[in-house]
Amino acid sequence: MVSFTIILHIYNSPLALVVTPLAMAPYSFLVKTLSNTGNSMIIKRLPNKRWVGEMVKMKFFTKKNIQRLGKLLETKEKEILLLEKP
């Protein structure tokens, strides 16, 4: 799986995240900070189109911020799928 970088603005500060799609489930991603400091987490999309975080240890990832990140990932995933088609 190909990792990509995504920028999420939290508290008016940009946060660069490295996102890796996980092969075990669709719409499941491993998320780390670009500097690789701190812990990684997994976010998943539920059938009701809500996003949830697992193993979240970064205190600024509230439910609202996880939803925002999920929406960005949906957009990015569509871009990647369009680029991969011949």
Q: Please, what's the b/e burial string for 54-85 (b: 16 or more CB within 10 A of its CB; e: otherwise)?
A: eebebeebeeebbebbbeebeebbeeeeeeee
Please write the tens of the pLDDT for every residue from 25-56.
678 899 888 876 667 889 998 888 899 998 88
Q: In the chain, where are the structural domains located?
A: 4-84
pTM over 0.85: no
What is d(CA 86, CA 64) in angstroms, rounded to the nearest whole number? 36
Q: Inform me whether the pLDDT recorded for 66 exceeds 80.
A: yes
